[in-house]
Amino acid sequence: MAVMENVVRVGKSYRVRKRIPADCRAAFGINGEFKTVSLKTTNKREAQERAVPILAEIDAKIAEARGLVAPPSADRRLSPARVEALIREWRFREIDRAYHDAYNGHRDTRDPIAVSQLRYALQHHSTIDRIADFDARMAAVLGVTPLHPVIQRADERERLRMAWHDVETFTARFPTDLTGWPEEEEEPLISTAAPAVPSPVKLAGMKLSELRDAWGGVKPLEARQSGYIRRLVEFLGDVDIATIQPLDLDRFLIELKRFPLTKKPSDERLPFADLIAAYEGTDQARLHIKTIWNWTVVYKAMFAFAVSRRLLAHNPAAGMMKKPSSEESNDRNPYSEVDLDFIFTRPMFTGFSGSAHTGYRNQPGEQVVEDAKYWLPIVALHTGMRLEELASLKTSEIISEGEALAFDLTKRPLKGNDGVKNGSARRVIPLHKRLYDLGFADWMMARADNQTHVFADLTTDGQGKRGSKFSKWWGLWCQSNANRAGEGIDDPSLTFHSFRHSFKRAARQSPVKEEVHDLLTGHQQGNSVARSYGSGVDLVTLKIAIDQINIHWP
């Protein structure tokens, strides 16, 4: 029963609105086309729950008006096998629909529906009598009306509960469509004999690499996702996926936490175990917990695809790892004043020797090349902008008011390579006074007329992102320039995003009000300030604010 298509909002409250066939309208005492019932709630979830029994009652009345429902005295029954088949078929249908919606990016407009709530209730209540609106909700699962004897009789109601339990237990182990089960319609629903259980279906073998290719054929994989799966194959071997157990993935997760955070091309070519062994006992940084979580999300989705295609009975990665807390995920630190002194006194900023196009500009010399590698750290520190926001910045997004220059991200989409993280990130960021002093404003405007992007020398990765390659280069630059691996600027808690944290720290220490510097960095609270000014705080006001933020500079 697709509940949401019959639940409509009128003003602030919700109503059931159901189309009644012309030949049944007399039974409802209506002349119009629709039957409407107030749900007496302004809460959508509660409205969906209240709609279920009302819609079931309307459907039953339509069926009764058409003479399609046998009276209870006829005592028409469903066999145990038929009950279990109906429940199982419904569950498979819902699983397939859910995976289809997930992979195609569709929103589930039927969530929550009565049957999913019933499934939860049957798992958590000792008796069905404690489940509200059980008759209507079970009828929705079985495809019958609440007047059907299978729902009305007490002994059969208990059998329904037991049947559901059996289905839950059985389908956790074996996938089957129950074809060929007997339809013993005349036997009582309660039987003293144990119900027949079909033999488990033998699953066809599929290698792990074959599953990756099959999944990629349905949902094209990013290069990083393919890389994560390649590492799993290196650890487990290209085994039959039916042999993979949760403990195997637990073992992999233990090793993954030892996996070095390195971007060297030579390291990328080393097998999983060899790369871990190569950095054993060293100070090399390991993968961040959020990165590890991103790996496990890929495995969970891949094996979920296998379950949806009946290749596996269960997802071995389902319990692989809990999502890290916000504190664990966001433990990127700001650069300290010592770190900033160290970064901006390196040869890349003071003078280097060698090629500007290869290497990490870490040898002292006479040349300073003002390109994206030079300017991105400086601009990020003085604006608090995210790397991809800067990397994709177009010259058409440079605006001015008087002598004040700014970046206008207000027209960016929420998705795509040129998109912003969320609605709050649509904002205007004026150039800090230090960016004028350092020459960035002149450098930028000198190129604005003959190039599309501010940082035109950046190249895109395979996904069309302009900041991805630089992000890797910056990590290697920090490794190359650090005094000791894992410490100082090479600390795993420090990334390019740390410049944004440094700007935010300086903003909190400034006289600028929090809601205004939230507006500069695109945080949620600042967005409410933007709305209070109609189209946002004017550029002059923002320029005065950002210039009050004292950025440490060596």
CB 367 within 8 A of CB 353: yes
Q: Helices 289-308 and 80-103, interaxial angle, to 10°?
A: 130
- % pLDDT > 70, the chain: 69
Sign, CA torsion 334/336/337/339: negative
Rounded alpha-carbon distances, angstroms, from residue 139 to 90, 143, 343 = 12, 6, 68
Residue 35 identity (one-letter amino acid)? K
Query: What is the reported pLDDT for 527?
Result: 47
pLDDT at 82 > cutoff 80: no
Query: What is the reported pLDDT for 479?
Result: 84
Domain 208-329 falls under CATH 1.10.150 = yes
- Tell me: the pLDDT tens digits for 355-388? 998 889 999 999 999 999 999 999 999 999 999 9
Residue intervals of the chain classified under CATH 1.10.443 are 337-547
Q: Give, rounded to a whole angstrom, the gap between the first and last alpha carbons of the chain.
A: 67
CA 442 to chain centre: 41
CA 192 to chain centre: 48
CB 189 within 8 A of CB 77: yes
Does the predicted TM-score (pTM) go above 0.75? Answer: no
| Helix, coil or strand: residue 286 | strand
CA distance 389 to 386: 5
Rounded alpha-carbon distances, angstroms, from residue 266 to 229, 275, 278 = 19, 10, 12
Give the pLDDT band of residue 43 (cuts 50, 70, 90): confident
Give the pLDDT band of residue 158 (cuts 50, 70, 90): low
> Residue for token digits 């300017």?
375
CA distance 34 to 21: 9
CA distance 339 to 343: 6
Phi, then psi, of 294 in degrees rounded to 5:
-65, -35
CA distance 66 to 20: 12
Query: What is the reported pLDDT for 436?
Result: 95
User: Nearest 10 degrees: CA dihedral of 345, 350, 355, 361?
Assistant: 0
- Tell me: the pLDDT tens digits for 285-302? 788 888 898 899 999 999
Which residues, listed in sequence order, are joined to residue 398 by a DSSP beta bridge? 407
CA distance 311 to 317: 14
Mean pLDDT of the chain: 77
Residue intervals of the chain classified under CATH 1.10.150 are 208-329
Phi, then psi, of 496 in degrees rounded to 5:
-60, -30
Query: What is the reported pLDDT for 391?
Result: 96
Q: Helices 134-142 and 80-103, interaxial angle, to 10°?
A: 80
CA distance 53 to 50: 7
CB 43 within 8 A of CB 150: no
CA distance 188 to 276: 63
Give the pLDDT band of residue 410 (cuts 50, 70, 90): very high
CA distance 485 to 422: 35
CA distance 515 to 525: 6
What are the strands of the beta sheet with 404-408, ordered from one edge? 398-401, 404-408, 428-430
CB 49 within 8 A of CB 112: yes
Query: 337-547, what's its fold?
Result: hpI Integrase; Chain A (1.10.443)
Contacts 24+ apart (CB under 8 A), 522-528: 522/409, 522/420, 522/421, 522/422, 522/424, 522/425, 522/426, 522/427, 523/424, 524/424, 526/424, 526/427, 527/423, 527/424
Give the pLDDT band of residue 249 (cuts 50, 70, 90): very high
Strands (DSSP E) contained in 323-463 are 398-401, 404-408, 428-430
CB 296 within 8 A of CB 320: yes
Angle (nearest 5°) at CA 115 between 110 and 116: 75
Element containing residue 38 per DSSP (H, E): strand 34-38
pLDDT at 456 > cutoff 70: yes
Rounded alpha-carbon distances, angstroms, from residue 431 to 331, 379, 400, 541 = 28, 9, 10, 12
- Tell me: the pLDDT tens digits for 326-357? 656 655 678 888 889 999 999 999 999 999 98
> Residue for token digits 């039974």?
27
